[in-house]
Amino acid sequence: MFLSSETRLLSFLYQEYTIMAVFIALFSVVVLFVVDIFGQRTAGFRFYATFAFIVGAVTSILCGFIGMRIAVVSNYRTAYKAKTSLAEAFNVAYRAGCVMGFSSVGISLSILLSLLLAYTAIMGIDHHDDHTKKTKYSYQIMMELIAGYGLGGSSMALFGRVGGGIYTKAADVGADLVGKVEQGLDEDSPNNPATIADNVGDNVGDIAGMGSDLFGSFAESTCAALVVMATTHDLAHGRYLLYPLMISAVGIIACFFTSIYGIYFYKVDEISKIEKALKIQLLISTVLVLIGLVFVSFWCLPADWILDGRKCRWWYSVVCAGMGLISGFLIGISTDFYTSNAHEPVKEMASACSSGAALNVIYGLALGYKSTIIPVILLALTALASIKLLGMFGVALAAIGMLSTLAVGLAIDAYGPISDNAGGIAEMSALGPEVRRLTDALDAAGNTTAAIGKGFAIGSAALVSLALYGAFIVRAKNADHNRIQNIEITDAWIFASLLIGAMLPYAFSAMTMKSVGSAAQEMVKEVRSQFKNPRIRNGEIEPDYERCIKVSTTASLREMIAPGILVIATPIVFGVFFHPLLVAGLLPGALLSGVQMAISMSNTGGAWDNAKKLIESGTHLGENGQYMKKGTPEHSAAVIGDTIGDPLKDTSGPSLNILIKLMAIISLVFAGGFANTSFLAKTLDIVQ
């Protein structure tokens, strides 16, 4: 059964990657004409931005695929080890996450470094050249072209997150509403036709999609820093330009030693130690990277340099990257407080289930809105300090700093769905209640760490988007035509486009949530039709799992197209048809509303999930003084809340951080093309 589920997963990925390949081919033509031909500053044909885009897209797919393969082979191993030892089961799941984390970060960093070295050699750029010389190519032009690497990564991440999210949530919602609520079956019961589709979907959305997403953040933040550095006279030299990559390299080393401690020295021999073991990984890696930042900044950067007429010191970079690193850690702590069933907010939600699903939903929405306060304040302080010290270069460093512990972040994020599927395998294989109890404990901790990972990804996306926006403004101000001279919020075009940008996350979320609803409705019909045969409900015959998998596959591939077109086409239409000035208003509008929506959605969904898990554990006292448990009205209320939250935390919320990043990187890569092709600028008097 499990080998066949792996085959089904590969079948879905083959179809999804086929669609992605078609997109890569078509969008490469757009990049070629708008960026390499119409947006170039030098004469002659070139293919640099297009090639960087293709390499970034393929790398993003590769990172997601490697993570998915690792998860598939680790799911049943974790379940098997849970038969004999909690510590061994934890180690298998966490080691699998580490393999994914180090593989993704290592591949991403090595390919980007290879691109830098290859382009430097091909373009004939001397490491000692002054970037202001009137040569055919310079570091500034090269970095603008290499930004296509980040564009390719984010484009594929969007389809991976949206397509995978729709796939898994269609199956999950259908399995919960019919199997658990209507039929009273246990979670992951083999008698539920949608169970295997749900387990396959966890690998597709939470592993492959998440791996591509965080790769995109890494690529974009590094590209943003390189673009800004290349426009700074004192930093536009070979050794200094390696500084952003060196931060990531130091992060890999720090995460390596952190994982050694987590695997070999901290033994998880009690359920109470699971969550602590994962959280301590973030703390240790943060401290180690913070120390490493001082040494790498001192070694890689000049003692001082001039940026926008101001004298800057090398330790300013330590402060900026350190602010991002510490903010990421504190955002994780805040997310843990609002989503873990060890803290009061989730316990309060579980208690509210005694009064029905309506109160559970109200409490969950309030929790999500409230949970935005601390992360947004931290992001605001980080942006303030970074801009004051180093301008947009400081913001890019803050984003890189936040992502410097990415190997460990990916490890604890991947640990969650691996443990979740181990529980499903334990249930379907009838390994017994004790094994399921241990896998549920692993999964409960994984829900919290997955929520921490989502908060981490959203926070880094905000800084990455802001850094890319700064790089876009620099590029647009230096354009040959239709350049941006100044940006004022009272400008009519800026304010109008700002409002439209703030609306886009709402439109995108509506599309993705409705897509999940539409796909789930098809799944509900399919599961109900199979349950008309009582022999399936009683376990006398095996359900037709293939039909449910086909429903999820068809629906997800169909529904992911429209949201993708909305995100990709909007900045291109605004820039190509109108003026870069409208894009300058569009991006911050999407950033400001998108970040807060994403945090709220992810935390609300995560809290609903853990409130359900808390009730199912049988350890929480309800308002009547009785322990809450499965099969009760309050459990049904919790299941309904969790069902509503599934598309929020696993589809719409995580996809929003890709929206704000992708729009920003598209604008940066296409900035030169916007300036040369905005043919309605004069007609509509969009001039400065």
Amino acid at site 346 = V
The model's confidence at residue 8, banded by pLDDT at 50, 70 and 90, is low
Q: State how far the alpha carbon of 438 is from the alpha carbons of 197, 276, 423, in Å.
A: 23, 16, 8
Q: Are 482 and 681 in contact (CB under 8 A)?
A: yes
Q: Which two tokens stand for residue 666?
A: 């598209």
* Distance of alpha carbon 396 from alpha carbon 172, whole angstroms: 37
Residue 34 tokens, joined? 């708008």
Is the pLDDT at 546 greater than 80? The verdict is: no
Least confident of 93-107, 117-131, 226-240: 117-131
Lowest mean pLDDT of 133-147, 315-329, 616-630, 672-686, name the range.
Answer: 672-686
Q: At 627, is the secondary structure helix, strand, or coil? A: strand
Q: At what angle do helices 545-559 and 2-31 cross, to 10 degrees?
A: 10
* Higher local confidence (pLDDT), 583 or 135: 583
Range 380-401 average pLDDT: 90
What are 384's two structure tokens? Answer: 């303030």
* HSE-CB of 37 using CA atoms within 13 angstroms: 8
Closest listed residue to residue 589, CA positions, set 532, 476, 508: 508
Task: Give the pLDDT mean for 2-30.
Answer: 73
* H/E run at residue 345: helix 344-352
For 26, 82, 232, 306, 319, the CA distances from 310, given in Å and listed in that order, are: 44, 59, 11, 5, 17
Identity of the residue numbered 58? V
Tell me the H-state helices in 191-242: 195-201, 210-230, 238-241
CA 320 to chain centre: 22
Q: Are 123 and 214 in contact (CB under 8 A)?
A: no
| Cα–Cα distance for residue pair 350/346, rounded to 1 Å | 6
Residue type, 364: G
Query: What does the mean pLDDT of the chain come to?
Result: 80
CA distance 40 to 35: 6
Predicted pLDDT of residue 348: 87
What's the rounded Cα separation, in Å, for the pair 592 and 504? 11
* 158 has pLDDT over 70: yes
Quote the CA–CA distance of 679 and 579 in Å, as a whole number: 8
* CA neighbor of 108 nearest in space, from 138, 172, 152, 69: 152
pLDDT > 80? residue 165: no
Position 502 scores a pLDDT of 93
3-state class (DSSP) for residue 125: coil
The tens digit of pLDDT for each residue in 431-475 reads 777 777 787 778 777 767 777 777 777 888 888 888 888 878 877
Measured between alpha carbons, how far is 210 from 203 in angstroms, rounded to an integer?
A: 10
Phi, psi (rounded to 5 degrees) for 155 = -60, -45
CB-hemisphere CA count at 13 Å for 440?
Answer: 19
- Choice between 68 and 594, residue whose per-residue pLDDT is larger: 594
Q: Does residue 679 register a pLDDT over 90?
A: no
Cβ distance 544 to 530 under 8 Å? yes
pLDDT the model gives residue 135:
47
User: Which residue(s) pair with 307 in the sheet?
Assistant: 310
- Alpha-carbon gap, residue 516 to 172, rounded angstroms: 10
DSSP state of 266: S
For residue 126, what pLDDT is reported?
A: 63
Mean of the pLDDT values across residues 542-550? 77
Are 389 and 316 in contact by the 8 Å Cβ rule? The answer is: yes
Residue 478: its pLDDT value, please? Answer: 67
Q: Among 23-32, 504-513, 539-548, which is the least confidently predicted range?
A: 539-548
| Tokens found for residue 617 | 């554990």
Amino acid at 621: L
pTM for this structure?
0.85
For the stretch 295-324, pLDDT in tens is: 998 888 888 878 777 788 888 899 999 999
Map tokens 């397509």 to a residue.
Answer: 163
Which residue, 468, 479, 674, is CA-closest to 33?
674
Q: How many CA atoms lie within 13 A of 114 on its CB side?
A: 11
Highest mean pLDDT among 72-86, 173-187, 285-299, 631-645: 285-299
User: Which residue shows structure tokens 């699903």?
Assistant: 357
Residue 130 has pLDDT above 60, yes or no: no
193 or 611, which is more confident = 611
Share of the chain above pLDDT 70, in %: 89
Strand-strand pairing, 304-307 and 310-313: antiparallel
Nearest CA to 223 out of 673, 675, 674, 664 is that of 664
User: Can you give the pLDDT at residue 682?
Assistant: 57
Does 332 or 646 have the greater pLDDT score?
A: 332
Q: How confident is the model at residue 381 (pLDDT cuts 50, 70, 90)?
A: very high
Kindly tell me the number of DSSP H helices and DSSP E strands found in the chain. 24, 2
What are the distances in angstroms from CA 564 to CA 152, 506, 548?
Answer: 13, 14, 25
pLDDT at 127: 53
Q: For residues 438 and 440, what is the distance between their CA atoms, to the nearest angstrom? A: 5
Alpha helices in 478-544 (DSSP H): 492-531, 534-537
| Least confidently predicted of 192-201, 243-252, 378-387, 516-525 | 192-201
